[in-house]
Structure 1
């Protein structure tokens, strides 16, 4: 197995709650997939298949037809479905999201450089970054655009939870920007979030100094994770997000007891 690394999702987990990071990255406790997560996986799978086709074949009807194979692939890798899941409704919602996608971009008009691209880069201090980018576009000028699909709604300017979601989304995109800056030595010209549920685009242009500061943030997070890993001190950090946590029964903040700490993994994908 590969050595421990920092991914956008696990970094966000640690920032939200160190104990949540431990449960997911070290204990690797199972979590049931929600209908929203399954729908997102289907849409992502269909879009990956769509862009694997020649541009002329990427019409709306093709995208609709790719929902079924994406669902079948998902079932082959994760056959455990949530109780009471209405699969037909889920697939209908996925098709609606894909239909709306064509109001934001026409996939027949350009060819991405890559889809679902695995990126891994070691920073100067030894911090290893690892993740998967939904799409990378490269213009004829060499300009780089990093694209991420979101099947939920765009964050609202009202409500602290929505603001937290927006911050989390931009954290993920800046993570990818740093990884690409270090692996390709190219500053991404644009970070694009595509919110399919309400058909909105969120574009962000990072600058070099900003990404250098963010890189230092990632290094600090990884150092904190390693310190907690060595001591086993992953403390809960209660917040409004606890209501969505699958591990409340094991959390001391809710009267639970975590399983015995298995120790920092010598080699695993964090």
Structure 2
């Protein structure tokens, strides 16, 4: 489209920078990811704690399990179609966990304090296996040939806002229709959770529309815990409105970044926040504002960000 500069990059690209002609890393431009945009909409102070202060958050077993399941489903589609069966998927679990544990040291201690760490790890892996079994109850991967899995995508809007995110899976029909698939390892959400999930999916739909000129035919959310699948069909008018929403969010982030005025927005979701001790709404004091951060980190979205 003439008024939009867009690009799609494979998941092999670095999330932290691109190489120049001499092989050196260039900092990436500041970008908006679905997780960070959702954080700011939920609570500007939460955005600050995560994107600016980079306060550590203790990972949970549920988040790690979701990351492992995502990794297994990605690898499943690298196998020949005839091998995409439950037993093969389960066989990928332990290697995926070992790789995640080795690359994310903070996860290594998830079972260290358990009375019977070996038994709890075995049960945890078994629970991940049950989620994979539920996946096979929702679709037959032997009948699918995705165009891409865990795809890093970027689109620059006409306003200059750069969008960046990872898509779990893209299916393209022979007739060109696009389906965006996102795996959720939790249960199908109620109103708040569903709105957050659709926000993420509309983000991906907008990026694909702006980079490919095609509105995805279907956005599909697969909730593995309770074996539910939700489908949504966006349209151009809706994505244009959503684009304006993201532009407004980015402008609000920039204003807050200049002043350091990231205000808390208390809600029921505060019960799950790791940073209540620093929140004025709960009697805490935020760290001294460090100023607007290195732009290369503003749109960074980790694997743990992308699981629910």
TM-score grouping bracket, smaller chain normalisation: over 0.9
Kept in 2, the 8 Å contact 1:144–1:190? The answer is yes
* Residue segments in structure 2 that go unaligned for 5+ positions in a row: 1-26, 299-308
Q: CA deviation at 1:167?
A: 0.3
Name the counterpart of 1:124. Answer: 158
Q: CA deviation at 1:269?
A: 2.8
Name the counterpart of 1:259. Answer: 287
Query: Of 80, 86, 102, which aligns to 1:76?
Result: 102
Q: Does residue 246 of the first structure (1) align with residue 274 of the second (2)?
A: yes
Query: Of 26, 30, 35, which aligns to 2:52?
Result: 26
Q: Does residue 207 of the first structure (1) align with residue 241 of the second (2)?
A: no
Name the counterpart of 1:145. Answer: 179
Q: CA deviation at 1:264?
A: 1.2
| TM-score normalized with structure 2 length | 0.84
The two structures, once aligned, show a CA RMSD in angstroms of 1.1
Query: Of 14, 26, 31, which aligns to 1:5?
Result: 31
Q: CA deviation at 1:184?
A: 1.1
Q: CA deviation at 1:117?
A: 0.2
Query: Of 174, 191, 211, which aligns to 2:219?
Result: 191
User: How many residues are paired up?
Assistant: 264
Q: CA deviation at 1:266?
A: 4.1
- Structure 2: distance between partners of 1:265 and 1:122: 21
- Structure 2: distance between partners of 1:45 and 1:69: 10
- Structure 1: distance between partners of 2:58 and 2:122: 19
Name the counterpart of 1:91. Answer: 125
Name the counterpart of 2:142. Answer: 108
Q: What are the Cα deviations for residues 84-117 of structure 1, in whole angstroms up to 9, with x where unaligned?
A: 4732222111000101111111111111000000
Q: CA deviation at 1:267?
A: 2.0
Name the counterpart of 2:262. Answer: 234
Query: Of 181, 188, 200, which aligns to 1:154?
Result: 188
Q: CA deviation at 1:256?
A: 1.2
* Greater mean deviation of Cα atoms: 110-119 or 253-262: 253-262
